[in-house]
């Protein structure tokens, strides 16, 4: 992070305003990577999904909200952080332990809420140029009557040198460095916002194309690709009422929102290079949601209620598989249509004593979902799966002159996605009998301000996870989603911050210990949770003076297993990044170099990392 003081907040709940990240980071993932307790999971070049882990939870156990609506997709429960350009973001909220009240965090790991822009005070244009023929441009402007627009485009050849395990031209030259073929990526998006006094409407269109490389042979004729298009519409309203008498004041705020999104994906592999055969597959997803939230403030009490309902669908079409319609071939693709409806009611209360040095927050919610599917060739739905869950967040907070401490308990769940329940790609099957993942977490978060320049954040937490959803493969190589039994994860996170007149420094560390217990799958029993770094250290140092700002970022990640059986240990690594920015009037210029030392290591997928990348940028306000 930079030199602004607005981000000096407790590690439990943070809010970052636009000035904390605009013109300083390439995308949302690069900004979140600087935050303590967050691990960004992105393999390869631009366009590959960027996921986030909060406090050691998996990416699917972390919730990403956009204006309060879940962005986790119905296929795998994940999301791509970089789908929303920074140009379209106004504010970022991060909750780690729950009971933030305003955010109502219900995720197993934590919740990130992205608030998009409603308008701009002026016109803005930015241009980025970088390695591997990377180009990014954005434009934003406001018009009369509350109308604003943000337009973004980014593209890259992604032709970085990659150690190919078995090059097709000469398979004996193992791990030979070659420019990666068929790795191009492009994405364009536009957001229109119409704002009135108490109502705003948003329309967002996104189109992207990602070529998929052949990482094993780097085949020159490979033309595999994944194209995606999505359209989103939302309508939001806010109404505030105030009632005063001689002794007290009553303030209420009411918010509502309706939302609809449609997503189409098209995967093609005409040469059959990536998969086991030639593919021409289409996937369709929709989600509709309505929300109502009311808040009431009366003296020392705050109350909130929230009711939401949603419906989502997922369907698949395997166009090259003649039998995908009838689904009569064992281990063959099968066209599916799946649906899920859900409703949730939440009630929350927050009380503070008269001295405002103690606070109690309670959130309780109940969710009810039902899901069903049918094969495309059938007119009969499967039996509905009805599920209920009661979750809660409890927090007790103590505030002193120089510190604040929060004690939290969170009971959460994650529902299986529609694909995990009903998906069928032949070699990986859904399981309609999957149970929800559930967790019980305990945490203590502390903020201690030594003085105006020094601050220490620390957190201790323990999480018990049941029924984690994992793919299990048999001797034929056919996989099926199953529930594992239990897992435990404990962690310590801390960060020291110094903010001087010109110099600033942030030193932090995340230390985790985990164990999975599963008598049904012996190879998973008594093993460390895979896919997360259990030891991380970061050091950010910077200097700001007049129009100049330079920042050096060092990160060390260690202790990761790639597989649940802990047979493949991932690489430990140390990366150094450098950022520079020059600001003159309404113009800013700068550059960023990631992995300055060009460190060679394998990432969390056990693939060689991309190596050094650079980008230069300019931004104009007019």
Is residue 1 very low, low, confident or very high in pLDDT (cuts 50, 70, 90)? very low
Q: Are 86 and 581 in contact (CB under 8 A)?
A: no
* The CATH fold of domain 13-621: Maltoporin; Chain A (2.40.170)
Q: What is the pLDDT of residues 13-28, one digit of tens each?
A: 889 998 888 877 888 9
Average pLDDT value over all residues in the chain: 88
Is the model's pLDDT at 425 over the cut of 90?
Answer: no
Between residues 425 and 167, the one the model is more confident about? 167
Cβ count within 10 A of residue 330: 7
Q: What is the pLDDT of residues 216-273, one digit of tens each?
A: 999 999 999 999 999 999 999 998 887 766 667 788 999 999 999 999 999 999 888 8
Those residues whose C-beta lies under 8 Å from the C-beta of residue 451, and which sit 6 or more positions away, are: none
Q: Are 178 and 164 in contact (CB under 8 A)?
A: yes
Q: Are 430 and 481 in contact (CB under 8 A)?
A: yes
Q: Which of 207, 208, 209, 205 is nearest to 190 (CA)?
A: 205
Is the model's pLDDT at 526 over the cut of 90?
Answer: no
CA separation for the pair 312, 333 (Å, rounded): 22
Handedness of CA 287, 290, 348, 397 (dihedral sign): positive
CA separation for the pair 99, 589 (Å, rounded): 40
The least confident of 344-353, 401-410, 422-431 is 422-431
* Reported pTM: 0.90
What's the confidence (pLDDT) of residue 383?
66
Phi then psi for residue 25, to 5 deg, are -130, 150
CA separation for the pair 48, 212 (Å, rounded): 9
Between residues 544 and 518, the one the model is more confident about? 544
Is residue 3 very low, low, confident or very high in pLDDT (cuts 50, 70, 90)? very low
Burial class (CB in 10 A: 0-12, 13-18, 19+), 195: middle
Cβ count within 10 A of residue 463: 24
Is the model's pLDDT at 7 over the cut of 50?
Answer: no
Cα–Cα distances in angstroms (integers) from residue 161 to residues 371, 574, 612, in the given order = 45, 20, 10
List the domain boundaries for the chain: 13-621
Is residue 87 very low, low, confident or very high in pLDDT (cuts 50, 70, 90)? confident
Is residue 476 very low, low, confident or very high in pLDDT (cuts 50, 70, 90)? low
Q: Are 215 and 607 in contact (CB under 8 A)?
A: yes
DSSP letters spanning 65-92: EETTEE---TTTS---GGGS-GGGEEEE
CA separation for the pair 509, 495 (Å, rounded): 7
Q: What is the pLDDT of residues 40-85, one digit of tens each?
A: 888 778 888 888 999 999 888 888 899 988 888 766 667 888 888 8
Is residue 2 very low, low, confident or very high in pLDDT (cuts 50, 70, 90)? very low
Is the model's pLDDT at 208 over the cut of 60?
Answer: yes
What's the confidence (pLDDT) of residue 121?
65
Is residue 353 very low, low, confident or very high in pLDDT (cuts 50, 70, 90)? very high
Is residue 475 very low, low, confident or very high in pLDDT (cuts 50, 70, 90)? low
Q: What is the pLDDT of residues 98-142, one digit of tens each?
A: 656 666 678 898 899 999 988 666 789 999 999 999 999 999 998
Is the model's pLDDT at 542 over the cut of 90?
Answer: yes
């Amino acid at each position: 992070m930079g030199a602004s003081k607005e981000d000096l907040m407790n590690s439990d709940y943070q809010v970052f305003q636009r000035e904390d990240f605009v013109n300083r980071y390439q995308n949302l993932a690069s900004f979140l990577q600087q935050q303590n307790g967050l691990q960004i999971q992105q393999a390869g070049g631009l366009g590959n999904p960027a996921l986030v882990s909060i406090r050691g939870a998996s990416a699917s156990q972390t919730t990403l909200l956009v204006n309060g609506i879940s962005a986790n997709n119905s296929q795998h429960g994940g999301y791509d952080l970089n789908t929303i350009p920074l140009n379209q973001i106004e504010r970022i909220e991060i909750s780690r332990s729950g009971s933030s009240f305003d955010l109502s965090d219900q995720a197993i790991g934590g919740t990130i809420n992205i608030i998009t822009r409603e308008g701009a005070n002026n016109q803005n244009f930015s241009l980025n140029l970088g390695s591997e023929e990377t180009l990014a441009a954005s434009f934003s402007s406001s018009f009369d009557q509350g109308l604003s627009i943000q337009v973004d485009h980014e593209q890259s050849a992604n032709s970085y040198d990659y150690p190919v395990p078995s090059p097709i031209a000469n398979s004996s030259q193992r791990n030979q460095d070659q420019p990666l073929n068929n790795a191009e990526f492009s994405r364009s998006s536009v957001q229109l916002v119409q704002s009135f006094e108490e109502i705003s409407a948003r329309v967002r269109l996104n189109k992207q194309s990602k070529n998929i490389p052949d990482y094993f042979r780097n085949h020159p004729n490979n033309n595999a690709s994944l194209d995606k298009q999505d359209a989103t519409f939302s309508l939001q309203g806010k109404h505030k009422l105030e009632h005063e008498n001689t002794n007290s004041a009553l303030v209420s705020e009411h918010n509502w929102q309706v939302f609809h999104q449609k997503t189409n994906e098209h995967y093609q592999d005409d040469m059959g290079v990536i998969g086991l055969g030639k593919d021409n597959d289409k996937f369709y997803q929709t989600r509709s949601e309505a929300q109502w939230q009311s808040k009431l403030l009366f003296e020392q009490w705050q109350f909130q209620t929230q009711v939401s309902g949603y419906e989502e669908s997922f369907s698949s079409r395997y166009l090259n598989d003649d039998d995908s319609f009838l689904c009569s071939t064992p281990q063959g693709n099968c066209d599916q249509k799946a649906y899920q409806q859900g409703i949730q009611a939440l009630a929350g209360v927050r009380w503070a004593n008269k001295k405002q040095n103690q606070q109690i927050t309670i959130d309780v919610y109940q969710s009810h979902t039902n899901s069903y599917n049918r094969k495309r060739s059938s007119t009969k739905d499967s039996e509905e799966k009805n599920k209920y869950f009661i979750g809660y967040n409890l927090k007790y907070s103590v505030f002193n002159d120089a510190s604040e401490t929060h004690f939290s308990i969170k009971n959460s769940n994650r529902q299986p996605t529609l694909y995990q329940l009903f998906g069928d790609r032949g070699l990986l099957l859904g399981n309609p009998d999957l149970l929800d993942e559930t967790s019980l977490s305990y945490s203590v978060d502390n903020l201690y301000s030594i003085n105006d320049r020094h601050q220490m954040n620390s957190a201790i937490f323990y999480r018990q996870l049941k029924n984690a959803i994992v793919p299990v493969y048999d001797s034929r190589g056919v996989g099926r989603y199953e529930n594992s039994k239990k897992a435990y994860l404990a962690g310590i996170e801390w960060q020291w911050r110094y903010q001087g007149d010109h110099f600033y420094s942030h030193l932090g560390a995340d230390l985790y210990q985990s164990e999975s217990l599963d008598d049904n799958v012996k190879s998973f029993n008594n093993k460390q949770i895979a896919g997360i770094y259990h030891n991380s250290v970061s050091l950010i140092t910077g200097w700001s003076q007049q129009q100049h700002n330079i920042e050096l970022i060092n990160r060390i990640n260690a202790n990761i297993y790639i597989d649940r059986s802990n047979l493949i240990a991932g690489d430990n690594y140390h990366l150094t990044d450098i950022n520079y920015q020059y600001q003159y009037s309404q113009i800013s210029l700068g550059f960023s170099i990631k992995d300055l030392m060009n460190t060679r290591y394998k990432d969390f997928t056990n693939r060689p990392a991309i190596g050094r990348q650079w980008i230069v940028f300019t931004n104009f306000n007019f």
